[in-house]
Amino acid sequence: MPFGLDKFKKKNKKPPKTASTPKQANNATGADSAAKSIDNKPNHFERLEAFKTITMLLEFCERNEKIIMHDNLRDESASVQESNPSLVKHAPIKDVADRYRIRVMDAFAQLGVQAHEIGAVVAEETNEGEWNLLASTNWRRTSNEPAVITPQIHKPSCPKESEGMSGLEYMEALNTRWKRPSISEHLWILSDALSGSIKGGDDYQTRLTSGLTRYACVNSILRIGRRLRNDTECEVALRKIEAEDIPAIPEARPTETSSNFSEDKGTTRRLRSELDSDRRFLLDFILLYAEPSKYDDGQLIDLKTKFPNLIKMAMDADRTRESKAFCIIYTNQTRREFHSLLLELLEQYAEAVEALTRKGLKEEQANSTDKGAKEFNSNVRKVDFVGYGLLRIARGHAFQMHLENIGKLLGNGPRKTQASEKQGLDGTEGGKQGEASSASLPGRKKDIDAEESNNAGVDIGRGWDIDAGEEKTPAHVLPPSAEPLSGDETFPRSGTIKPAQDAGHSKPLKIPTQTSGPDLTTTDSDKADMINLLQSYRNWLLVLVGHLDAVEILMDHLASEHRPFDFESISLSILVIPETPNTFLGLQDLFKQDRHIIQPKGESLDHQGILQFLNDGLKDAESNTKITLPPKQAFFRNLKSSLAKKFKGTCHCEANLATLLPFCTELLKPDDLLQYEGINILPDMKGFGRLIGVSKRSCPPCAVFLYILRPNDGFITRGNHNKITACSLPPWTPDRIIAQMNQTFGEILWTALVAIFLYQFGQ
């Protein structure tokens, strides 16, 4: 069975016999089914509604084994794939330019959405001199835009209050007096501000980085708040560890430095990027506290934690700033300071986010009084400033060393990692610009120039390894980008990094092989568990500052001399799609024999048995009968609630984009294109490529859908998360593809329902 769900089946266990005729569920089976065709085969709309019902049921099923997540920027081995079968053949993105572009497009999609939206972005690849982007969002969920009957392409609208202001000027005004723009206005602000950076010079770049960072903080504040609430267990586990309990590092960490490492392995580049993030943490954050009296009130955040050893390191790094030398900042002298500072920054960050989301300062209410506006601006600066410090920590080598050092103290770790699994956005350590005012904070500016980039082969501090597998790429063409941390290549990261032979360094920078943290000499299973545990903490911290990640990616892209595609302006359009109907297929019709789902081989329950199980469960839930077994109770409680709310599956943005792109339509058969009648925008889609950026990783149905649309040389996306959610398909999807999706996920649903059934009877 797909996704390894065949493990649900209990071998040699037969469930109790069921009645030959299933009971009718009356009103419990949902809205009226779509009209049937004359030949008793499901028509187009019935197939669409069947898919929505299948994914709704799957969302509520408690599965014993998670669906496999795929990160297409990772190069997973064949052995991993063989032991974890998946519907979609994992195809790592090996082309350097594509790996770079997917990060840029993901970043744009991340910044292009608002509080409760998801988005997808595709770029035109044939128009020289202009970067044409097409964005698709579920914007009608949070706006009053009129509905459309067929897909349309709109231009984003300029805010009426802008009065001839540029996007950057209006953005800066919003940072002072916030008024949430519509999604159309938001995309205009974003595209116009980014367009100005191409020819705006260094001053404009500094203003844009500062303005866009704060604008992203406010625009993303509700999402940040949800992430803080959803993944609190990570912070709780960290707070249980007292600074005095931080174990000493068994091996002394030398402070030898080197600014030029060998380019032999991708690990070298990842390590160099981590060390540079640590260096910038010292220079752009810690150094400010060496002489805090230089700065006006409100520019620095008062910290209770004392960190004299880190300040001394920052002052030493400042004296060697021009050499851009690296050093190990996590030592026996700094380990307790680092832990205490991390906890305080998390506390300050959460307090500022809470202040921005609570009723008194939320949205336009910040404009009601000067006092409210002042407090609003103060908290925006705090989220920006503290968030930057957390980003540098999350991307640094010191945090990884700290996690390895305290690994045994973390216990079993957090259970809630859904946000980081779905998020999938990876960022870079691009230089964060200073304030636009004359009292700018020092250090938060681009301190990595073209000479250093040429010297190192990639913008140091913004570049993880972007090579894949054994493929080698000349250093001088490597664009600034970020490689996600992955598996045992990440924890522990140890060994000796040799300097380049012509760099004039005689000694290597030695990274000790192991701290006192996790014992990775135990079984492979224990090792994997510890690796996943430590990775979950790093993912958690990165997700909390994902908006800053996205800003840095885009700013680096606009300023880079290494981007694989050049442009002089940015043009953004919006794909507007029809709203998904709030109807679904009744359970009676969904499980009508061989109509939508063919009974999987080896499954003991037939169509009638599955339907009776569902009907009986809904009847028990309707009559408030106590259901003692948690899986069954949770499933039918959620199902009953969803049916009562007139379920409406979401048609995800990447699915809409993919079906309209030439990469899909050029392979469709004449009969398939009959469903596209009335869609007039297909000629306008010419030139857009197959690379789709998303604000979070695709759901499993969308990942399979994209694979079915183009199975051989497929669409390029970041990958998929592992949670099936209530999903729909574009109404113009060809019947044969809908039928294939229904059978694929219908089998997964069947297996999951049988698992709940067998659990009910203790089998």
This model's pTM is above 0.95: no
Instruction: Give SS3 for 722.
Output: coil
More confident residue, 385 or 469: 385
Please enumerate in sequence order all residues whose Cβ is within 8 A of that of 131, keeping only pairs 6 or more positions apart, or say none.
123, 124, 565, 567, 569, 570, 571
Q: Is the pLDDT of residue 544 over 60?
A: yes
Summarize pLDDT for 376-419 with one digit per residue, the tens. 888 889 999 999 999 999 999 999 999 999 988 887 655 444 33
Q: What is the mean pLDDT of the chain?
A: 73
pLDDT category of residue 697 using cuts at 50, 70 and 90: confident
Cα 172 from Cα 211, distance rounded (Å):
6
Cα 201 from Cα 168, distance rounded (Å):
14
Cα 392 from Cα 280, distance rounded (Å):
7
Please enumerate in sequence order all residues whose Cβ is within 8 A of that of 84, keeping only pairs 6 or more positions apart, or say none.
4, 68
Q: Is the pLDDT of residue 287 over 70?
A: yes
Locate 507 and state its tokens. Answer: 């000694």
What pLDDT does residue 639 have? Answer: 81
- Residue 71 has φ and ψ, to the nearest 5°, of -120, 110
CB–CB of 298/378 below 8 Å? Answer: yes
70-84, 122-136, 473-487: which is most confident: 122-136
52-61, 470-479, 491-500: which is most confident: 52-61
pLDDT category of residue 113 using cuts at 50, 70 and 90: confident
Mean pLDDT score, 54-59: 89
Cα 663 from Cα 668, distance rounded (Å):
10
pLDDT category of residue 333 using cuts at 50, 70 and 90: very high
Instruction: Give SS3 for 576.
Output: strand
Percent of the chain with pLDDT over 70: 68
Mean pLDDT score, 479-494: 34
What pLDDT does residue 126 have? Answer: 65
Q: Which region, left, alpha or beta, applies to residue 48 given φ > 0 means left and ψ of -120 to 50 means alpha?
A: alpha
Report CA dihedral (686, 692, 695, 696) to the nearest 10 degrees: 150
More confident residue, 44 or 633: 44
- Residue 651 has φ and ψ, to the nearest 5°, of -90, 110
Q: Which residues pair with 120 in a beta bridge?
A: 136, 694
CB–CB of 680/698 below 8 Å? Answer: no
pLDDT category of residue 450 using cuts at 50, 70 and 90: very low
What pLDDT does residue 367 have? Answer: 58
- Find the range with the poorest average confidence among 275-284, 592-601, 664-673: 592-601
Q: Is the pLDDT of residue 712 over 90?
A: no
CB–CB of 13/759 below 8 Å? Answer: no
Q: Is the pLDDT of residue 516 over 80?
A: no
Q: Is the pLDDT of residue 279 over 90?
A: yes
Cα 649 from Cα 1, distance rounded (Å):
25
H or E element in which residue 349 lies: helix 335-357
Q: What's the Cα-to-Cα distance from 577 to each of 93, 149, 357, 705, 728, rounded to whole Å?
A: 29, 8, 31, 18, 13
Q: Which residues pair with 261 in a beta bridge?
A: 499
Mean pLDDT score, 517-531: 61
- Find the range with the poorest average confidence among 261-275, 286-300, 439-453, 564-578: 439-453
H or E element in which residue 137 lies: strand 129-137
Please enumerate in sequence order all residues whose Cβ is within 8 A of that of 691, keeping only pairs 6 or more positions apart, or say none.
98, 101, 102, 105, 122, 123, 715, 716, 717
What pLDDT does residue 311 have? Answer: 96
Q: Give all strands (DSSP E) within 203-334, no chain letters.
A: none
14-18, 219-223, 361-365, 441-445: which is most confident: 219-223
pLDDT category of residue 629 using cuts at 50, 70 and 90: low
Q: Is the pLDDT of residue 24 over 50?
A: no
Q: Is the pLDDT of residue 501 over 70?
A: no
Q: Is the pLDDT of residue 28 over 90?
A: no
Walk across the sheet containing 119-124 and list its strands.
Answer: 152-154, 567-576, 129-137, 119-124, 688-694
Cα 431 from Cα 559, distance rounded (Å):
11
More confident residue, 562 or 499: 562
| Preceding amide of 492 cis, omega within 30 | yes
Percent of the chain with pLDDT over 90: 27
Cα 671 from Cα 623, distance rounded (Å):
48
Q: Which of 283, 269, 275, 326 is nearest to 480 (CA)?
A: 269
Q: Is the pLDDT of residue 338 over 90?
A: yes
Mean pLDDT score, 437-464: 30
More confident residue, 378 or 257: 378
Report CA dihedral (676, 678, 681, 687) to the nearest 10 degrees: 30
In terms of residues, how long is the chain?
763
In sign, the C-alpha dihedral spanning 396, 402, 404, 407 is negative
Please enumerate in sequence order all residues whose Cβ is within 8 A of that of 154, keeping only pairs 6 or more positions apart, or say none.
184, 573, 574, 576
- Find the range with the poorest average confidence among 202-211, 223-232, 420-429: 420-429
Neighbours of 360 (CB within 10 A): 11
- Find the range with the poorest average confidence among 89-98, 250-259, 568-577, 607-616: 250-259
Cα 50 from Cα 61, distance rounded (Å):
17
The amino acid sitting at 260 is N
What pLDDT does residue 99 have? Answer: 87
Q: Is the pLDDT of residue 40 over 90?
A: no
- Residue 439 has φ and ψ, to the nearest 5°, of -95, 40
Q: Is the pLDDT of residue 505 over 70?
A: no
pLDDT category of residue 437 using cuts at 50, 70 and 90: very low
Hunting for tokens 């990447």 — which residue is that? 654
Instruction: Give SS3 for 568.
Output: strand
More confident residue, 128 or 538: 538
Locate 73 and state its tokens. Answer: 């920027």
Mean pLDDT score, 704-730: 88
Cα 664 from Cα 732, distance rounded (Å):
12
CB–CB of 116/156 below 8 Å? Answer: no
DSSP string over 484-540: PP-HHHHSS--EEEPBPTTSS--S-EEE-S--SS--TTS-HHHHHHHHHHHHHHHHH
Cα 585 from Cα 679, distance rounded (Å):
26
Mean pLDDT score, 452-471: 28
Instruction: Give SS3 for 124.
Output: strand
Q: Is the pLDDT of residue 719 over 80?
A: yes
SS3 content of the chain, % helix, strand, coil (to 5): 50, 5, 45
Neighbours of 213 (CB within 10 A): 25
Summarize pLDDT for 639-649 with one digit per residue, the tens. 887 777 766 66
DSSP 628: -
Q: What's the Cα-to-Cα distance from 526 to each of 26, 520, 531, 532, rounded to whole Å?
A: 51, 8, 9, 10
pLDDT category of residue 551 using cuts at 50, 70 and 90: very high
Q: Is the pLDDT of residue 692 over 70?
A: yes
DSSP 29: G
DSSP 150: S
